[in-house]
A and B are shown apart, each in its own frame.
Chain A
Amino acid sequence: MNERTRLRQQDFWTALTLIAVSGFFLFKTSEIPFFQANAAGVESGRWYNSAALVPYGIFAAILLLGVMLLVTAIRQGGTPDAGQFRSVVAWMRSDSVQRMAAGALVMLAYIFALVPRVDFILSSALVLLALIYGFHETRLRATRIALLVVLVPSVYALAAHLPRSEWNAHHDDDWLTLAAFVALTLVMYVEIRRAGRRPDAYLKIAPVIAVAVPILLIIAMAFGFRQNVPNRTGLVFQKIEYHYYVTIKPWLAGKDGR
């Protein structure tokens, strides 16, 4: 199947999605008062004052363009056929798609499970190491191991501390993430050698990069740029922050004679 036909087949499904989504949002827009616009508690009844006016235009335009896309896709050979299903299955089985899916899953686990609940330095170190090992190594086995090691503490963090009220309460998921990082470091070196290869310079220093980058970043952001950082009660950052304010700052102040 040529690239253009595949693109039009994707356009066919995208057009259907766009039509459905715009239909849904047109329905949701109908819940916003249109001919009875309410300004500061006063019924004005002017259509042009309504908060629904522009959204109606936007979603109607998306609906129209969705239909146009559908027509174009059908005209240019994008209608689904039996071959499409087979090619989608083959596409999903390809190494590059599996790598992309693994990368997306690691990112989703990092953002939705780890960052809100686990110490930022530990979670970032684990994800950095997993991505460098899992994707710098071109073998799918390495990618799968990296994904698995990230998913274990992520699933635990989600299962054990799902509600927002618990995000900053416990440290057990921090310890599990630390253990996962150490385990991945060891597994990485062993697995590469068992595969009959030698880790290159980047893989050799990957654990150092993985730890140094988030530490430097968080110190720069929290104390240099004075910005908010994730999970201030995390296992490692809590100690850094404590020693910054209790040990380093008073020492610097004493040195300055303040």
Chain B
Amino acid sequence: MLDFIFAQFAGFASQFLELATDPVTYIYLVGSVALGIVFGALPGLTATLAVTILTGFFGNKFPVEQSLIALIGAYVGAIYGGSYPSILLNIPGTAASAATAVDGYPLAKQGRGGEALGMTTTASFIGTLIGTFCLLVFVWVLMAMSKQIASPEKALLALFGILVSGTLMSSDLVIKGWIAGLIGLAMAMVGLDPILSEQRYTFGWSYLLSGFQVVPVLMGAFAIPQILFGLREGPQAGSPVQVGRIRPNLRKVRRYMPTIARSGAIGVGIGSLPGVGEDVSGWVSYGVGKSFSKTPEEFGKGSLEGLISSETANNACIGGALIPLLVLGIPGSPPAAALLGALMINNVTPGPTIDPALIIRIVAILVLASFTMFVLGLFMARVFISVLRLPQTVFLPVVLVLTTIGSFSVGGGTNDLFLMIVVGMVSYALIRMQYPIAPLVIGVILGGLFDETFRRSLLVSDGDLTTFLTRPGAAILVFLNVVLVLVQLPAAKRLLRRVVRSSRPNIANARTDEKGA
């Protein structure tokens, strides 16, 4: 086992050295991390959008290894950059940094904005490294397990990914998340079917024969609603408060190391759940941090511990989100879904068949990206803070032009633009009615996999549905899928409540008996 781990670290060291000694790496990294920080810092732009726009730029004309440097750099930068407006303006730059605002802004109002930014930079850096380390170590365990995964498990995993993301990302009714996921799945059915090449829902339009392309769907679902919301609200920018000196206090960092380690673990764990993402990890870690804290009363009033809790977790989530993406082909977060789209247009299929060298390379890129983020965060924070003065009515139109040319270039046609705008308008309407949009995108991405593997399983078993129950892995996944759906149904909830209520007197009696004994 130890030999195996040493071998992985040796592989990582060689990839890391290869990347670190290539000057081109730094050009991509500095550019993409800076762009990511700007996207994260500007309220209205998100990490998903940063990754999506760069996907449009790099397309499939660049080697995937180079595209990955830019995409991962932007991802890491944007998740970190969201903390700037959270701390300085009390406006979360991204959903991931919403929990950061709770303690970040009070700190800034106390004149400790610089200290907060310094601690955030350090916490984000260490968080990314924790996530990266977990990715390096655990991805191999899961890879070994995933070798046992055949068509039935793949189909059920794809379904599980869509259901879980729909369940966890719904802010209103859970069925809205499922509906969004099913709409995505339905969109994936358009075109030629993967087994018989039968035409489905093309309505005679030849463009639809190859199905919905991933990039226009990504651009439409993530960028267009953002632009419409921003334009509707009008110019919104603020003057950041005085920042002061930005430097991490090493003594305080050492004091909060247990918090950083715990939040890192939470971030990785939540990130590895399909479709959940950085925002959930930030809030969960914040809540756990408060319950573990010796001074919970300071949370919400400017607690460095609270700030560290959320910021470490949302960056650690990046490594976690890449675990299911690389091992199973199921994205762990919306930006990871965009990253999956980028990999797919480069003919890289994440999952058990992925090239192990690519995973080690991604880990090396993540480490380098986190170092770049740390250096840029500490030394160029004031430059990024000045970006916050830009009103969104100026940069959102630019984003529209960026997405247009990106979507056109990857697909190479105006049909992709038509698709992008239609998906964008529908997504806008859905978001307004509180439907989560990430399950829709995940549905589009995983729909083809689900269709193909589900039918292949039935083909192999000659139509015997028990194939989904006789294999241990598949049976577990069927159980998880069924439980996931059942626990959300009102009738099942009522039954569960009744069971709990009826078991209470028994527990109480048992306790009385124990005491008596």
A binds B: yes
Residue positions of A touching B, CB distance < 8 A: 7, 10-11, 14, 18, 25, 28, 32-33, 37-39, 46-51, 53-55, 58-59, 61-62, 65-66, 68-69, 72, 96-97, 99-100, 103-104, 107-108, 110-112, 115-116, 120, 124, 127-128, 131-132, 135-136, 138, 167, 202, 206, 209, 213-214, 217-218, 221, 225-230
Add 20 more A-B contacts to A103-B227, A111-B420, A217-B405 (CB < 8 A): A18-B179, A48-B458, A53-B454, A53-B455, A54-B189, A55-B186, A62-B186, A107-B227, A107-B421, A108-B421, A127-B397, A127-B400, A131-B400, A206-B394, A217-B401, A218-B405, A225-B57, A226-B61, A228-B412, A229-B405
Task: Tell me, in angstroms, the Cα distance from A206 to B397 when the chains sit together.
Answer: 11
Task: Tell me, in angstroms, the Cα distance from A47 to B179 when the chains sit together.
Answer: 26
Task: Give which listed residue, B59, B185, B397, B462, contacts A131 with CB less than 8 A.
Answer: B397
Task: Tell me, in angstroms, the Cα distance from A140 to B393 when the chains sit together.
Answer: 14
Task: Tell me, in angstroms, the Cα distance from A45 to B510 when the chains sit together.
Answer: 60
Query: Is B292 interfacial (CB-CB < 8 Å)?
Result: no
Please give me the residue from chain A that is nearest to B424 by CB atom.
A107
A65 touching B179, Cβ below 8 Å: yes
A213 touching B398, Cβ below 8 Å: yes
Task: Give which listed residue, B227, B393, B463, contacts A136 with CB less than 8 A.
Answer: B393
Please report which residues of chain B, range 417-443, place their CB below 8 angstroms from some CB of chain A when the two chains form the complex: 417-418, 420-421, 424-425, 428, 433-434
**Residue in A14, A58, A61 with the greatest tally of chain B CB atoms within 10 Å:** A58
Using A38-B196, A103-B228, A136-B235 as known contacts, say yes or no to A49 and B409 having CB atoms under 8 A apart: no
Query: Is B173 interfacial (CB-CB < 8 Å)?
Result: yes
B433 touching A135, Cβ below 8 Å: no
A135 touching B393, Cβ below 8 Å: yes
| Chain A residues with CB under 8 A of B178 | 61, 65
Using A58-B189, A202-B391 as known contacts, say yes or no to A107 and B196 having CB atoms under 8 A apart: no
Distance in angstroms from B434 CB to nearest chain A CB is: 6
Task: Tell me, in angstroms, the Cα distance from A70 to B463 when the chains sit together.
Answer: 34
Task: Tell me, in angstroms, the Cα distance from A107 to B193 when the chains sit together.
Answer: 33
Using A62-B186, A229-B408 as known contacts, say yes or no to A11 and B433 having CB atoms under 8 A apart: yes
Task: Give which listed residue, B173, B393, B394, B418, contacts A72 with CB less than 8 A.
Answer: B173
Interchain residue pairs with CB less than 8 A apart (9) = A49-B459, A72-B175, A103-B227, A103-B232, A115-B414, A136-B393, A209-B394, A217-B405, A230-B405
Task: Tell me, in angstroms, the Cα distance from A25 to B459 when the chains sit together.
Answer: 25
| Chain B residues with CB under 8 A of A37 | 196
A131 touching B57, Cβ below 8 Å: no
Query: Is B234 interfacial (CB-CB < 8 Å)?
Result: yes
| Chain A residues with CB under 8 A of B396 | 131
Query: Is B404 interfacial (CB-CB < 8 Å)?
Result: yes
| Chain B residues with CB under 8 A of A61 | 178, 182
| Chain B residues with CB under 8 A of A62 | 179, 182-183, 186
Distance in angstroms from B323 CB to nearest chain A CB is: 27
Task: Give which listed residue, A33, A108, A132, A225, contacts B61 with CB less than 8 A.
Answer: A225
Task: Tell me, in angstroms, the Cα distance from A72 to B172 when the chains sit together.
Answer: 12
